[in-house]
Amino acid sequence: MRVPLIAGNWKMNTTVSEAVELVNQMRPELDRIDNVEKVICPPFVSLAAIKELLKGSTIKLGAQNLYFEEKGAYTGEISPSMVADLCQFVIIGHSERRQHFNETIEVVDKKVKAALEVGLTPILCIGESLEENEAGRTEEVLTRQISSPSDQKYYFGGLVLAYEPIWAIGTGRAATGKQANETIGFIRQRISQQHSMKAAQEVRVLYGGSVTADNIAEFVNQPEIDGALVGGASLKASEFLSIVKQTSEIKRVR
Nearer to ligand PEP, 121 or 210 (CB): 210
Nearer to ligand PEP, 95 or 148 (CB): 95
Smallest separation (angstroms) from ligand PEP to the CB of 83: 18
Among 116, 169, 203, 244, binds ligand PEP (CB under 6 A): 169
Cβ burial 232-253 (10 Å sphere, 16+ → b, else e) = bbbbbbebbbbbbbbbbebbee
Nearer to ligand PEP, 83 or 180 (CB): 180
| Contact in structure between 121 and 80 (CB atoms under 8 Å) | no
Nearer to ligand PEP, 8 or 195 (CB): 8
d(CA 197, CA 80): 29
Cβ burial 206-224 (10 Å sphere, 16+ → b, else e) = bbbbbbbbebbebbbebeb
Nearer to ligand PEP, 79 or 133 (CB): 133
Smallest separation (angstroms) from ligand PEP to the CB of 254: 23
Smallest separation (angstroms) from ligand PEP to the CB of 239: 10
Strands (E), the chain: 5-9, 37-41, 59-63, 89-92, 121-126, 160-163, 204-208, 227-230
Binding footprint of ligand PEP, residue count (CB under 6 A): 14
Kindly write out the interface string for residues 215-234 of this chain, putting x where it contacts ligand PEP by CB under 6 A and - elsewhere: --------------xxxxx-
Task: Answer yes or no: 94 catalytic.
Answer: yes
Q: What is the DSSP code string of 56-108?
A: T-SEEEEES---SSSSSS-TT---HHHHHTT-SEEEES-HHHHHHS---HHHH
Of 96, 103, 128, 164, the active-site residue reads: 164
Kindly write out the interface string for residues 174-213 of this chain, putting x where it contacts ligand PEP by CB under 6 A and - elsewhere: ----------------------------------xxxx--
d(CA 68, CA 87): 16
Closest CA to 210 of 181, 247, 179, 170: 170
Among 132, 164, 226, 239, binds ligand PEP (CB under 6 A): 164
Smallest separation (angstroms) from ligand PEP to the CB of 72: 30
Task: Answer yes or no: 100 catalytic.
Answer: no
Residues with a known catalytic role: 94, 164
Residues that bind ligand PEP (CB under 6 A): 9, 11, 164, 169-170, 208-211, 229-233
